[in-house]
A and B are shown apart, each in its own frame.
Chain A
Amino acid sequence: MTADSLRGIEGSIIFASRPTPDFTMTDPSQAPPPAEPFEALLAPVLDRAYALAYHLSRSRDDAEDLVQEAALQAFRAFHQFRPGTNFRAWYLHILTNCFFAQYRKRKREPRTLNIEDAEPLYLYSRTRELGMHEKTPDPASAVLGKLGEDQVHAAIQALPEEYRVVCALYFVEELAYQEIAGVLRCPVGTVRSRLHRGRKLLQKELWAAAREHGIVTAKAAPERVE
């Protein structure tokens, strides 16, 4: 049973977490599980979960509360976790639910971006217009490498929530579409379209940040002169 439930869609569903064969719980309705197996599963996922929680809540304090609250809820519901399945995805499902239920309203959502103009290859086109492609073999790194972490964090945090959540799960947790769909309990197609669009929006934010911080100068850009 454990081996089969591990084998997700083309092996892409499950990652790292080793099956825990010595962990056979036959009756899921049994009373409180021992703490140690729970903590052993939880500890390795906490740091990334904190990063995720930070991008979702956009606050370090909330991120810590969120991770902790999700841990408590997961502990209480641990009897529902099926050993051998993906603990991280299960925990992240609880964490994102906590966020939706409690934290999303604490901070005002960013202004609505114009979703329509999420054009493809936005950064590619902008850097090309500036002649950067002739000067360096990796123009994307030439721009993004100079952006500070805070500036990139600000860029993802500027995305509307539905895009931000999917992008954060994708970038921070490195989950595949199916896994994100499992965490959010939504169709894979929804994840895919939000992710693709979210990344395009993110590129616009990143470019705006690069200009704002003088990493690129837009003098050669024909579309707009300041």
Chain B
Amino acid sequence: MSPIDRYNCEETFRRLDDFLDRHLSPEEIRLVQEHLDTCGQCASEYAFEESVLRNVRAKLQRIKAPDDLLSRVRQALERERGGGRPSGSR
């Protein structure tokens, strides 16, 4: 809590990934935030990396599952539930 405890650029940079992944303690987050508020260089690096993650996430998630995926899974479960005839193997 003491105001002397401030992160420098190196300490801030070391926490970049964990910060973006919300893997820091509240106190660490506060200290990082405090540094970013006063250091343009670190702030621009953080903003850049955050933007990379956002862009990549959006594109990786945009995969269209087949329309009938759920119904095909349901059919498979139905067969399983119905005791399904042992088809060949067993």
Residues of chain A touching chain B, judged by Cβ–Cβ distance below 8 Å, are 12, 32, 35, 38-39, 42-43, 46-48, 50-51, 54-55, 64, 67-68, 71-72, 75-76, 120-121, 123-124, 127, 133, 138-141, 144-145, 147, 149, 152-153, 156, 168, 170-172, 174, 176-177, 192, 195-196, 199, 202-203, 206
Contacts and interface: CB of A to CB of B under 8 A. Distances in A.
A22 B68 CA distance: 29
A170 B21 CA distance: 9
B73 A42 contact: yes
A149 B59 contact: yes
A181 to B, nearest CB: 12
7 contacts: A32-B81, A42-B73, A51-B65, A121-B48, A140-B51, A144-B56, A176-B22
Contacts of B47: 138
A124 B48 contact: yes
Contacts of B4: none
Contact of A71 (B49, B73, B81): B73
A46 B17 CA distance: 29
Interface in B64-90: 65-66, 69-70, 72-74, 76-77, 80-81
B60 to A, nearest CB: 5
B56 A172 contact: no
B45 interface: yes
Contact of A176 (B21, B56, B80): B21
Given A72-B80, A139-B48, 16 more contacts: A12-B22, A46-B69, A46-B70, A64-B66, A68-B72, A71-B76, A72-B76, A120-B16, A124-B48, A141-B51, A144-B55, A149-B59, A192-B18, A195-B17, A199-B17, A199-B53
Interface size range on B against A: 20 to 34
A47 B69 contact: yes
Contacts, number: 110
A199 B55 CA distance: 13
Contact of A46 (B13, B73, B76): B73
A198 to B, nearest CB: 11
Interface of B: 13, 16-18, 21-23, 44-45, 47-49, 51-53, 55-57, 59-63, 65-66, 69-70, 72-74, 76-77, 80-81
Contacts of B80: 72, 75-76
A141 B53 CA distance: 10
A133 to B, nearest CB: 7
Given A124-B48, A206-B56, A71 B23 contact: no
A60 to B, nearest CB: 8
Contacts of B16: 120
